[in-house]
Amino acid sequence: MSEQQTRLNVFKTYKLYVGGKFPRSESGRVYEVSDSKGKWLANAPLSSRKDARDAVVAARKAFGGWAGATAYNRGQILYRVAEMLEGRRDQFVREVADAEGLSKSKAAVVVDAAIDRWVWYAGWTDKIAQVVGGANPVAGPYFNLSTPEPTGVVTVVAPQDSSFLGLVSVIAPVIATGNTAVVIASEKSPLPALSLGEVLATSDLPGGVVNILSGKAAEMGPHLAAHQDVNAIDLTGATEGDLARDLEIAAADNLKRVLRPRTEDFAESPGTDRMTAFLETKTVWHPTGSLGASGSSY
């Protein structure tokens, strides 16, 4: 009988998720990611401004098709994300436990809540229009109808201390309403976010709808905030120093919608505010009676 050999672990190479593909950082840079006790976990890509630009290009390219999809279809795809996460639940429990210093049982509660959050937003995709849109009473022989439309490309600075549930809570509402996203993952705990990219790639979500970058928000954030093809920015994770203020100033250059950071407990049931934050309202006026069948909208 041969002597038993010690098996070497196969370490995972974490990559960015941009345009439905998994590139390394254009710069070739990486940085060490450690657990809550300082133990090395992996090397994560240190994204550059070029990576951020590539992500915006991918998000813009995907926007037309995603915004034009039926709300029902978007709901199916978000539900499929939940299905795929359920199948990889044990992996995410391990990664969340390492990232946030939780016991396996507490990490399991977080992962289950994140999966349920995808299902929750999947159910809202074909209902939000009825909540925030509708017929408006006006004086005169007109029908006046309001309907929500997605804002466009949204940059999301993900929460720093809620590496998975918080991450899902800021991504899902953005794409549920037809926007596309460029996400800057938690700098200190990016691994659950990078693994989420693998789930999104196998869940029928079109490439470019969600793009995930790891690295320094202080490096990529100002460039993305000032980018003329970014329509909105979520500053939830921009809590370091004056970063939120600086990004908001940069975003004013082309009148982006800005969602400011606030104190949140992501374990609480969400409302509709994160969906409505990145919706525009289109109002249509249509004449009635003898004025004919033509109408106008603005």
Q: Which residues contact 5 (CB under 8 A, 6 or more apart)?
A: none
With beta carbons less than 8 A apart as the criterion, state whether 135 and 143 touch: yes
Give the pLDDT confidence score for residue 7 in this predicted structure. 82
Give the pLDDT confidence score for residue 297 in this predicted structure. 47
Gap between the terminal Cα atoms of the chain: 81
pTM above 0.85, yes or no: yes
Give the pLDDT confidence score for residue 298 in this predicted structure. 45
List the CATH code of the domain at 40-297. 3.40.605.10
Give the pLDDT confidence score for residue 32 in this predicted structure. 96
Distance from C-alpha of 89 to C-alpha of 144, rounded to nearest angstrom: 47
Helix (H, G, I), strand (E, B) or coil at 29: coil
Residue among 171, 124, 168, 132 at smallest CA distance from 149: 132
Give the pLDDT confidence score for residue 290 in this predicted structure. 53
Helix (H, G, I), strand (E, B) or coil at 54: helix
With beta carbons less than 8 A apart as the criterion, state whether 219 and 49 touch: yes
Give the pLDDT confidence score for residue 87 in this predicted structure. 96
Give the pLDDT confidence score for residue 2 in this predicted structure. 54
Instruction: List average pLDDT for each run of 10 residues in the chain, which is 298 residues long.
Output: 72 94 94 92 96 98 97 97 97 96 96 98 94 77 80 97 96 98 97 97 96 96 96 95 94 90 91 94 76 47
